A and B are shown apart, each in its own frame.
Chain A
Amino acid sequence: DIQMTQSPASLSASLGETVTIQCRASEDIYSGLAWYQQKPGKSPQLLIYGASSLQDGVPSRFSGSGSGTQYSLKISSMQTEDEGVYFCQQGLKYPYTFGAGTKLELK
């Protein structure tokens, strides 16, 4: 199975601050990488797919980058509503696997 390692496990950011979350795959996933946001008691929401394609309706302050085994999600200006847990997911090979999550809080 492809292992997905996210870092950091948690972080806090001030309003307007730039936030970056990392995700490393145990093998090359050829940009088959998605990012999700999950708020408490809610279902996950797709933010980014294909490593860098922004899902419809997602604010442009979210962006994704990376290739091979290394990927990142950037929030260019932290907002109150961005609090939540962020997960990466590889969708190249079965079984699809998720990172353990990064909890983002407002400082």
Chain B
Amino acid sequence: EVQLVESGGGLVQPGRSLKLSCAASGFTFSNYGMAWVRQAPTKGLEWVATISYDGSSTYYRDSVKGRFTISRDNAKSTLYLQMDSLRSEDTATYYCARSLNYGGYSAAFDYWGQGVMVTVSS
């Protein structure tokens, strides 16, 4: 059974840092691209970042570029999101998700973690 379990969320002041982790099990982690998707309270879904199966390629939305870093440790089957210079608008539930590549160049997210809440407030 595929499982994705996030951890590391919490309350943090603006300008500070936080690192999220996502422990994967039930599949060969090193074969899949992975992503972080967030959802602000009572809002819709927003893609944050994607990393390739081997970590060689990363992609970010503009609003987090230069502040967030997605990374992975395939030996530990763990995905990370280092979040620096946090802003109030980063407040959201952060989901770890597995990428499903199809059609040669498109992607969806076929498994999601339960999510971890990040609150940025003074």
A residues neighboring B (CB under 8 Å) = 30-32, 34, 36, 38, 43-46, 49-50, 53, 55, 87, 89, 91-92, 94-101
Contact B110 A50 (CB under 8 A): no
Known: A32-B103, A53-B102, A94-B59. A46 touches B44 (CB 8 A): no
Give the residue name and chain of the B residue nearest to A6 (CB).
Answer: B44
Using Cβ atoms and an 8 Å threshold, which residues of chain A touch B11?
A: none
B53 at the interface (CB under 8 A from A): no
- Tell me what chain B mostly uses at the interface: helix, strand, loop, or mixed: strand
Judged by a CB distance under 8 angstroms, whether B9 is at the interface is no
Assembly CA distance A43 to B115 (angstroms): 7
Cβ B107 vs Cβ A96 within 8 A:
yes
Tally of contacts, chain A with chain B, CB under 8 A: 70
Find chain B residues with CB under 8 A from A91 CB. Answer: 106-108
B105 touches A32 (CB 8 A): yes
In angstroms, Cα B115 to Cα A44, docked, is 10
Residue in A34, A43, A97 whose CB lies within 8 Å of B108:
A34
Does the CB pair A43–B45 fall under 8 Å?
Answer: no
User: Contacts A32-B105, A46-B100, A50-B103 hold; do A98 and B110 have CB atoms under 8 A apart?
Assistant: no
Q: Taking the complex as formed, is B61 at the interface, i.e. its CB lies under 8 A from any CB of chain A?
A: yes
Contacts of A36 in B (CB 8 A): 45, 109
Considering only CB atoms, which chain B residue lies closest to A90 in the complex? B106
**How far is it, in angstroms, between the C-alpha of A36 and the C-alpha of B111 when the chains are bound?**
11
* B32 close to A (CB within 8 Å): no
Interface string of B94-122 (1 = CB under 8 A from A): 01000010110111111111110000000
Q: Across the interface, which residues of B come within 8 angstroms of A97, CB to CB?
A: 47
Q: How far is the CB of B38 from chain A (nearest CB, A)?
A: 11
Q: Which of B47, B95, B106, B109 contacts A92 (CB 8 A)?
A: B106
**What residues of B have a CB within 8 angstroms of the CB of A38 in the complex?**
45
